[in-house]
Structure 1
Amino acid sequence: MKRILKFSPILAPLALAVSSTVSANPLGLTGPQDMIIRVGGYYIEPNDDQVSFVDETFEYFDAFRSNVDPGSEWGWYMNLEWKPTEHWGIELGYMDGDSHSSSHGDDFFTFGFDDVDYRDVVSFDADISTLSLKYYPLDDTCMVQPYIGGGISYTDFGTGKLRRELRDDLADFGLRGDFDMGYAWGYTWQMGMDFNFGRDSSWLVNVAAMYARSETDLRVRVFDDVPPPPDVDPIFESYSGDYSYDPWMFNLSVGYKFSF
């Protein structure tokens, strides 16, 4: 409350300016404008990619390739759309990613343990945000509203981690490791359809297919579990490679539309 009161002299003029701008309608829009809120679930299918890893420390000068194949997952998403005109909309979307497990990684995550085959050795989350411009070819009187759209996407991969089996094997050798992914800016496109419950109903059902271009760095590091004595060089290896996540998403949601 104290923070709100502290900034009230700034917020009050700002709110007045925003309300005045909306009332003035600088875009010259006439007639009602629609807002649509959609909430639902989605099925995501990430890309299977061959990743070339190189040594970042420039100490060993080795490189190798690995197949990275995250499993398909389910998640939830929501979006908010503003339709200033009958045929055009601007949509802001967010997809909360479930945890992916990377399979088929035995060639990559061997670390010298020749008698062990590792499967599903890493996991990571991927949250995707999108900003899209959408086009509706039909007029508002149609109960079925197909559309196409495109825009920009941002993927946050959060904090990845090695699975317990690999961490335990590294600990047996006095080692530990970590796995990290960054973030990615890219483009997105989608096509979908709204099914209205009635001409005068505010409720609708939406189905859509979406693609997001998303390329990021995979980084794996292996180092001593405890600091070595001063006269002993620490074991440290760091490898990285570019991975194309590039997921397809298939959405099913319920929406609510209102005008202002």
Structure 2
Amino acid sequence: MKRILKFSPILAPLALALSSTASANPLGLTGPQDFIVRAGGYYISAGDDEVSFVDDSFRYFDAFRANVDPGSEWGWYFNLEWKPVEHWGIELGYMDGDSHTSSHGDEFFTLGFGDVEYRDVVSFDANISTLSLKFYPLDETCMVQPYIGGGISYTDFGDTGLSRAVRNDLADVGLRGNFDLGSSWGYTWQAGVDFNFGRDSSWLVNFAAVYAESSTEMRMQVLDDVAPPPGVDRFFESYSGDYLYDPWMLNLSVGYKFSF
């Protein structure tokens, strides 16, 4: 229920647009700009966050803080937009990111590595899906079409891992490590502009700035590299903390308009 209330300011105008479409006519289509497909690249800048890690295994009851500052990366994105009525569009987008590396990771480990300063401790990538309602203030005959929009986003984190330096240091003392991130639901906002090649052209160039609210749980585990002898407890440490990813994305793409 709390998550539904969180997204209600976004879902309400989306429902209003859909209801107005149904009342306009059976299909609600407006002409040659009923659908737009865009594909291109984007530059993504992730959030810098001070993460508080706590001991999940309750072996040592310690806690520590680490600065997580992933490097900015490039990726590609694709979206499909339906314009049911003039001035309004409903967009489904997907952004596939390159692998981030954390550029600052001092004191990530307290297990004998407290005096070691690690760089690029972890790596991960993030794939972001969005559903947005967009508003175009100008008449559809204008060759330049600015817009604003908002909606919901889903971030799926993958390809997680520890750096080679960290893995080697753990292996030197008979340990190995795991690093994982969860997924995240959030909201998204965007502002952009379509530059049409001509009044009768179906082609356009798009530039947009997109923000996606995203928070996820980081979990780091340290355990024995080999199975212990019978009767001996397996060494195990698990730390977790909440990380605010919250990326900004700058998109540049080519689009094509069509209708059925």
TM interval, short-chain normalised: 0.7 to 0.9
Give unmatched runs, 5+ long, in structure 1. 1-24
- The residue type equivalent to 2:120 in the other structure is D
- The residue type equivalent to 2:97 in the other structure is G
Partner of 1:29: 28
Partner of 2:169: 169
Partner of 2:250: 250
| In structure 1, C-alpha distance between the alignment counterparts of 2:29 and 2:213, rounded to whole Å | 36
- Alpha-carbon shift at residue 109 of structure 1 (Å): 3.7
- Secondary structure (helix, strand or coil) at the match of 2:168 reads helix
- Alpha-carbon shift at residue 121 of structure 1 (Å): 1.4
Contact 1:48 1:67 in 2 (8 A): yes
- Alpha-carbon shift at residue 48 of structure 1 (Å): 0.2
Partner of 1:66: 66
Deviations 1:180-235 (A, max 9, x none): 00100000010000000000000000000000000000000000011101222111
- The residue type equivalent to 1:171 in the other structure is A
- Alpha-carbon shift at residue 40 of structure 1 (Å): 0.6
Which of 1 and 2 has greater Rg?
1
- Runs of 4+ more than 3 Å apart: 25-28
Deviations 1:81-137 (A, max 9, x none): 000111110000000010000011022145313553210011001000000000001
Matched, 1:224 2:230: no
The count of corresponding residues between Structure 1 and Structure 2 is 236
| In structure 1, C-alpha distance between the alignment counterparts of 2:93 and 2:69, rounded to whole Å | 26
CA distance 1:183–1:247, shift in 2 (3 Å): same
- The residue type equivalent to 2:121 in the other structure is V
- Secondary structure (helix, strand or coil) at the match of 2:159 reads coil
Partner of 1:89: 89
- Secondary structure (helix, strand or coil) at the match of 2:165 reads helix
1:74-85 aligned within 5 A: 74-85=74-85
- Secondary structure (helix, strand or coil) at the match of 2:227 reads coil
- The residue type equivalent to 1:42 in the other structure is Y
Partner of 1:21: none
Task: Please identify, of 115-124 and 155-164, the stretch whose mean Cα deviation from structure 2 is larger.
Answer: 115-124
Partner of 2:136: 136
Partner of 1:146: 146
CA distance 1:138–1:71, shift in 2 (3 Å): same
Give unmatched runs, 5+ long, in structure 2. 1-23
| In structure 1, C-alpha distance between the alignment counterparts of 2:129 and 2:96, rounded to whole Å | 9
Task: Please identify, of 32-41 and 137-146, the stretch whose mean Cα deviation from structure 2 is larger.
Answer: 32-41
Partner of 1:45: 45
Matched, 1:196 2:196: yes
| In structure 1, C-alpha distance between the alignment counterparts of 2:68 and 2:200, rounded to whole Å | 49
- Alpha-carbon shift at residue 28 of structure 1 (Å): 5.6
CA distance 1:73–1:30, shift in 2 (3 Å): closer
- TM-score, scaled relative to structure 2: 0.87
- Alpha-carbon shift at residue 26 of structure 1 (Å): 7.0
- TM-score, scaled relative to structure 1: 0.87
| In structure 1, C-alpha distance between the alignment counterparts of 2:172 and 2:148, rounded to whole Å | 54
Report percent identity of matched pairs. Answer: 75
- The residue type equivalent to 1:165 in the other structure is A
- Alpha-carbon shift at residue 179 of structure 1 (Å): 0.3
| In structure 2, C-alpha distance between the alignment counterparts of 1:59 and 1:217, rounded to whole Å | 20
Considering only aligned residues, what root-mean-square deviation do their CA atoms show, in Å?
1.5
